[in-house]
A = this chain, B = another copy of it.
Amino acid sequence: MGKVNKPVVAWVSGTCARLFKSEVQFGHAGAKSGGEMESAQAKNQALKDAGAAVPTSYEAFETAIKETFEKLVEEGKISSVKEFTPPQIPEDLNFAIKSGKVRAPTHIISTISDDRGEEPCYAGVPMSSIVEQGYGVGDVISLLWFKRSLPRYCTHFIEICIMLCADHGPCVSGAHNTIVTARAGKDLVSSLVSGLLTIGPRFGGAIDDAARYFKDAYDRGLTPYEFVESMKKKGIRVPGIGHRIKRGDNRDKRVELLQQFAHTHFPSVKYMEYAVQVETYTLSKANNLVLNVDGAIGSLFLDLLAGSGMFSKQEIDEIVGIGYLNGLFVLARSIGLIGHTFDQKRLKQPLYRHPWEDVLYTK
């Protein structure tokens, strides 16, 4: 590297470190300032010794540059160029928005949570309040899904539903796909997701369907007979009715517990009672056509919405239309699917390959 012939004006910042007794950090938290040789003073002195124009303080830097420039012009080494008006420096967007000069349309609307303050809020409730006031998981669901704080019996009911739907063994579509993906050595999220994607009309959809059909039938004032027979005509099985093992004389204990809970806490159980009337009719047809857990949850969820007095009719229609119960099932079953992923990883299971013998290869 050759010698620098151009005049150099330089300044090493950090001289104020001298003014502090103890060691002071500049820049990255971890930078450790060194001894005398590394001080800014020493560096400035070295630059001066090497011929650079070094001002006595940062404030004098501008003047030093100006003097050096004017000296070069005077000596004829450089010639001054004509001043021109610098182009307007564009303002920073956020500053321009705040000062009202620019209006930027927002592209996203969100109403359930706000993370801009010191701590996130769910429907206006700060996270720390949620902990301090002893809220449960059901209450957080209430805030984030329903945007209001439902009474504790409602959020407790939501929690019971989550517990009842959390898992249903390794053979159902969702758990099966999750197990296969976990055994392919994939990460937790991929395994969970591969299983979740099977949830829909045929797997997990019965709760949501039960709520929809019971609501429609009840609201339209159909008798159980009219409801069941109209479903039969359309070729649709009544969702929420029917069980593999349970019979009219051997009821599902889970259904009974849900009913007990509702009788104790809910102000009204009209939808559930309607579902029971439907069951009475279907039991007259076959002994296994009992009200099952899906039907109990579906009808009681309608009672929760209607009985709480916190939703308009239109809001209830919207909630049922969008399929909130589907969300409840999806959330609940995630517990099981994550559990199955952990299970396979603990067991160090190898890649799954479906046995050829179980496949009918045809045309």
The closest CB in chain B to the CB of A109 belongs to B360
The closest CB in chain B to the CB of A141 belongs to B335
Additional 18 contacts, C-beta under 8 A, given A115-B172, A137-B163: A29-B285, A87-B100, A88-B101, A90-B101, A93-B104, A101-B102, A106-B360, A113-B336, A115-B170, A122-B167, A137-B159, A171-B353, A184-B202, A185-B200, A187-B200, A194-B197, A322-B342, A330-B338
Is A211 part of the contact surface with B, judged by Cβ < 8 Å?
Answer: no
Is A356 part of the contact surface with B, judged by Cβ < 8 Å?
Answer: yes
Query: How far is B101's CA from A104's CA once the two chains are assembled, in angstroms?
Result: 14
Interface size class of A (residues with CB under 8 A): 35 or more
Q: State which of B112, B252, B330, B363 has its C-beta within 8 Å of the C-beta of A334.
A: B330
Q: With contacts A110-B179, A331-B335 known, is A120 near B168, CB below 8 A?
A: yes
Shortest CB distance A295–B (Å): 15
CB under 8 Å from chain B, chain A span 158-180? 159-160, 162-164, 166-173, 176-177, 179-180
Q: Which 10 residue pairs across A and B have the least CB separation, nearest first? A: A115-B169, A144-B339, A90-B103, A29-B285, A110-B170, A128-B253, A93-B104, A184-B198, A194-B197, A106-B360
Q: With contacts A101-B91, A111-B343, A177-B177 known, is A132 near B257, CB below 8 A?
A: yes
Q: State which of B30, B120, B245, B362 has its C-beta within 8 Å of the C-beta of A167.
A: B120
Q: State which of B185, B203, B286, B360 has its C-beta within 8 Å of the C-beta of A184.
A: B203
Query: How far is B105's CA from A135's CA once the two chains are assembled, in angstroms?
Result: 41
A100 touches B116 (CB 8 A): no
The closest CB in chain B to the CB of A362 belongs to B111
Is A74 part of the contact surface with B, judged by Cβ < 8 Å?
Answer: no
Shortest CB distance A325–B (Å): 10
| Stretch from A49-57, A78-86, A272-280, A344-352 at the B interface | A344-352
